[in-house]
Structure 1
Amino acid sequence: MTASARFRTRPRVGLRARITISFALGALLLSLLLASTTLSITRDNLLTERESEAVTRTAENATAIKGTISAEDFDGAAQLGALRTPASPVLIVDTQTGTENYSLDTRLGADALDHSLQEAVELDGIAAKMRYEHDGSPLLAVGIPLPEQEASYFEITDLSEIESDLESLGITLIGAAAITTLAGAALGSWASRRALRPLSDISAAAEAIAQGRLETRLDSADDAELEPLVSSFNEMVSALEHRIRRDARFASDVSHELRSPLMTLSASVDVLNNRRDELPDEASQMALDLLVKDVERFNQLVEDLLEISRFDAGAHRLEQSPVNIIETVRAAVEASATDAVPVDYDPSLRDTVFLCDKRRVVRVLANFLDNAQKYAGGATRVTAERGPDQTILIAVEDAGAGVPDDEKERIFDRFSRGEMGGTRQADRGVGLGLALASEHAHLMGGRVWAEDRPNGECGARFVFEMPVHAPEAQDVPMEPIT
């Protein structure tokens, strides 16, 4: 498979989904940007404030302890304990015997000082500060040199609390970003529904028109920008309805006009056919036989066109009555099939009575059986069974060549005869039988379709799905099948 073929077969995301995703991604990016900015500014402010406090406090405490270092009774730990500081103070004093280190916290003593900071304060004699990590903890150290006392004073501040607060703030901001993303998706979904509502209305109207409801129109749009679209759509549908009605009237008028001369022609042909034996030769008799069959075919065409025109005009009405469906199927098979055709049915339907239009049920089955006789050598079996959602499935099976997949829907169109349509034989139909069956089924709230026979058997199976309605209490039940 080529790359272009793979691209064509890739499922496409709908416009509404793309709008929703765009809103969600926009909200996510914006919330992440705001969260990172907030976290960065907050971190800088907290650290800057903590550093400023630490520098000021360290300078004050260094001044306070400076005067006590020269005393003979100097106690470094006691002097450090007297200071007011939340940090860990460290005092390093150079004496004649060596360096003395004083601290109150063994964990944050002189060993916790960064060497570069310690060198800058002790050797270079400059005040300095540094943020670094020690044993996995973030620390802030501020150092003040005391050159006259040959000492250095440091304060070490543990920044773990700030890092913990920043971590909590980060989790909160991530949660806020997630909520903002969901809110953005909800807003995108609402906006897409509102923006695409006119397209949904147009789609629903187009589907209704495709199902034959030509009176469907779009309501006037509140948006001035959509009004031209609504107006153009309604004008197009009106023009389409007018043309279809005109074509239907034309077919009806032509059929009516042909009926009278066709009756005269049929009567004349009947007279000739009754005196067939008096014709002078066999060629004349064969010509008469062809004429009789073509006149019959022409007469059937006119009758079918008249019935089709009545469907188009909406002149057909249902005449429902209590019917034993199995008995009706058997009667239709006996009346329409030239050979004996077995009828298999669900035993639960044997004595069941339903409300339906018996004449139309018989017409649908007659058309199925006639189609099987003309194109597949006759029906081999008729079945009746319960279908889903309170329906009955009546099917006519044959052992013919079957129906190709690309023709299983098209054969129910008017004047469609499938792949056999190009052959002109006396027993071929005019292509309206299955179309009429579809119209009758649709009028009863059902549908028809063609499928392959089950279990891989050769042939086709034409199915009529009909909704069932139980008769009212006052309706007289039918006699059961004996």
Structure 2
Amino acid sequence: MSLRLKLFLTYSLVVIVTLFIAALGSAVLVRQYADRLAMERLDDAARPISVQVAALIRGNVTLAELVENMQAQADASGMHILWSDADGNLLRQLVPQGEPALQFPEGSLPHGVPQGTTGAIVDDAGADYFYSAYPLARAPAGIARAQTLILAVPRPEAAAALAGVFRPFAWAGVIALAASIVLAYWLSRSVYKPLGEVSAAADKIARGEYSYRINSKDTGDVGKLAQSFDRMAAEVEASQLKLRHFVADVSHELKSPLTAVQGFSQALLDGTAADRETRDKAARIINDEAKRLRRQVDELLDLSRLQSGQFKMELIRLDLYDVMRHSTDLFGPPAADKSVRIELDAEPGLWVKGDADRLEQVFNNLLDNAVKNSPPFTGIKIAARAEGRNVIASVLDQGPGIHPDALPRVFDRFYQVSGVRTGVGLGLAITREIVLTHGGGIEARSAPGSGAEFVVSLPSM
């Protein structure tokens, strides 16, 4: 038997015997301590949830949204989330995943209590629960009589409480100290130091140093934690960069029409536009730029609603051929004005489930982009076919094409392809979100000088 094993066995025996003797004489004290500690932890965890509930109610969320948010909290924290009426009766509850619903005697739940009141309750099965209660300033939607929010956790078992008996007894730690010095030293190097690095890195990220990385070479669990933290930091940095670019893009796109409106309105005010013709021209430009500004704002709002899932769509069974034919008829005249022909290559019977107006918006955006970028005396082909469980539609032009480096970004907000091809602003970004909302996909294919093709895939019916 090795010395290390002997030391481990001796340490274990001393600790077990010491804690066992101490626990026999201190069971009541330990239970009180465990209860108090559990109550404090409950209060610390419940307070942020109560604040979140109040914020959601003030935000007039629906019952489904409130339940979705609170169910996630219940699953993550292991807390039962209850609502009671003015008489202490249970109105609704959310339970952690895998746990049964609770039942309580009528009028037994806390009600009419001050903010953050804590205590214990017993359910119909005789199980003890600790709770933290918060009066509601306003009842949530769908639970009209709710007056109190209650967050409850099971009371710690007596056996679990006794497991922590060593904490009130410093002498038990002194007895174990000699045998644990080496172990503590090793742990401090192999565990605590890497965790300290993760903690320090989190502080740096919180202060805005998004480029900071731990770069841990440890292959153990703590090393994996550090690697996960680095991946999270990279995603946060990328999100912040996208946010800054988005703000800059919006500012740039809105600046031009605002500058025109300001300039020509100033001309009207200071009398620079003296004759009627000049005033009419200034008024037309102001009107045109205001429409342009309104269109950009509407597109931004549509894109935001689509990405957040708040855009309402009426999904019905429809023939995609009819949608494509209508778009083709709509863009026929402006294409003819540029001496560009549009050819529709599709047959009826391309059934999909979708919103007709939104799908027409998809093909309108693609055709508008194709017409703008097609030279005179060229053609645009809009085609569709059934392929397996999908309907594949495409719009192909004979314009200048798109450089391969630009293809991955053509669907980004405000992205403009450099060179001779006209930028598309928000149109393609909205197009992609509409297609994704329909459960489909979209991609751009091109090579410089050979035209551009946009391919849409939608689930067929």
TM over 0.5: no
**How does the TM-score come out when normalised to structure 2?**
0.40
Question: Which one scores higher on RCO, CA 8 angstroms, separation ≥ 6?
Answer: 1
**How does the TM-score come out when normalised to structure 1?**
0.38
